[in-house]
Amino acid sequence: MCESDDVTPSCYELDKVLNRGCAAYAPYNEVWPQVYIGDEATAKDKFNLKKLGITHVLNAAEGTWNNVDTGASYYGDMGVVYHGVVAADTPSFDLSQYFITASHFIGTALADPNNKLLVHCVMGRSRSATLFLAYLMISEGMTLADAADHVKTRRRILPNWGFLKQLRELDTKLQNQRQGAKCIGSESR
């Protein structure tokens, strides 16, 4: 019989974790090797992006209404590879529909050690943080608790409760998959 010791924390527990011992707010922070999470001003500051060596941008707030209206053409003169996600920062918005495509974009960017990625939204605290946490869970094999703990010590993040719920669902699904793989591996011995 296979059992898992990992338990996905509740939204309330995650909120407490994210607010305890977190980094001070800044326009952008390096949260992982080659990865920055930042705000709208950072995304629009081409001079600073060049200085940071940004080669890829994931805009988690693409669009014009209450979002960041950049796009691939905005970065065209810089040779930046762009990926946009049209998402609202509301608890009812299903951001999980973008977890796989955003993770793939991040993973592709990080495959080359010369690349640097900016993941951003308006404030760089909810949508962008949620997509990067999903990447850490999907591609780096981290639990939600571990991913949140890692990022919050490097950047002040506050995914809304709807996004936390979606991340919890992803965490449970991934833990069940990993546990199933462990059980199958141990039964075949």
CATH of the domain at 102: 3.90.190.10
| Mean pLDDT confidence for 5-20 | 73
- Is pTM beyond 0.85? Reply is yes
2 is catalytic: no
In a domain, 159, yes or no: yes
Average pLDDT over residues 65-84: 91
Q: Does residue 3 sit within a domain?
A: no
Q: Average pLDDT in the 160-176 region?
A: 95
What local confidence, expressed as pLDDT, does residue 67 receive? 83
Is there a domain that residue 65 lies in?
yes
Q: In this model, does residue 1 exceed pLDDT 50?
A: no
Q: Of residues 2, 22, 121, 183, which has the active-site annotation? A: 121
Does a structural domain hold residue 80?
yes
Full domain range(s) for residue 183:
11-187
Does 101 reside within a domain?
yes
> Does 176 map to a domain?
yes
Beta bridge partners of 32: 35
Mean pLDDT of the chain: 90
Range of lowest pLDDT (60-64, 133-137, 153-157) = 60-64
Indicate the DSSP class of residue 85.
-
Sequence-ordered list of residues with C-beta below 8 angstroms from that of 60, at least 6 positions apart, any chain: 85, 87, 102, 119, 120, 121, 127, 128, 130, 131
Domain membership flag for residue 2:
no
The predicted pLDDT at position 17 comes to 74
Is residue 60 a contact partner of residue 49, using CB atoms and an 8 Å limit? no
Please give the C-alpha separations between residue 145 and each of 24, 168, 186, in angstroms, as whole numbers.
20, 9, 26
Beta bridge partners of 82: 57
> How far apart (Å, rounded) are the C-alpha atoms in residues 134 and 138?
6
The count of domains in the chain is 1
Please indicate, yes or no, if residue 49 is contained in any of the structural domains. yes
